[in-house]
Chains A and B, each alone.
Chain A
């Protein structure tokens, strides 16, 4: 899986949009971009994923650049409960059943602090 680079930390005012960037310049054509978050001392939570088109769900939007070398996760109206570490990972989705296909390789992520 390709390596990702994220800022160590970010602050966002409550009610404003939180834009979390991720660089994945070595991503290959069939690797997906995934976002998870982890609130302190809890399990990771899946947020969204995409291949090349922008995606939106009830939690967030994912904007992927045309060259697919970077992406941005957007939380449209951040709340205090969105304070967490956000992980951007790239994954090759495959029907293979080996351990490597299940491994979620999280980096250090971005610690987002939503401020009242």
Chain B
């Protein structure tokens, strides 16, 4: 089955530690995205990648880093510089980097930093 996988579903870390969230897709989509969702709120774009080896900052990129070495994979690292890292993180992909194409979402990773 084609789709987007994120792992793990729940992640716990101590403050000051970097943590990397996995996102893999087998849909052969060019574009991939990372969003953050806080309780009772909508989605905020962290980073997006239009094609392999390219990525751009979204609205709230500070304290996060990404890489896109393979078409299928777009890992997100939450660094110790992110002041409020506890959130629900969602990865998405679309066929091409255009708003004309629907974004398909993974199941999300809930990160708790204490």
Contact = CB atoms under 8 A, between A and B. Distances in A.
B69 interface: no
Contacts of B59: 99, 103
Interface stretch (B14-22, B75-83, B104-112): B104-112
B57 A44 contact: no
Contacts of B110: 41
Interface of A: 41-46, 49, 87, 91-97, 99, 101-108
22 contacts: A42-B107, A42-B108, A43-B4, A43-B91, A43-B106, A44-B90, A44-B105, A46-B104, A87-B42, A92-B99, A94-B99, A96-B99, A99-B45, A99-B57, A102-B45, A102-B99, A102-B103, A103-B59, A104-B35, A104-B43, A106-B43, A108-B42
Interface string B35-51: 10000101101001010
Contacts of A49: 102
A94 B99 CA distance: 6
B66 interface: no
A71 to B, nearest CB: 17
B63 interface: no
Contacts of A108: 40, 42
A97 B50 contact: yes
Given A41-B108, A42-B107, A105 B42 contact: yes
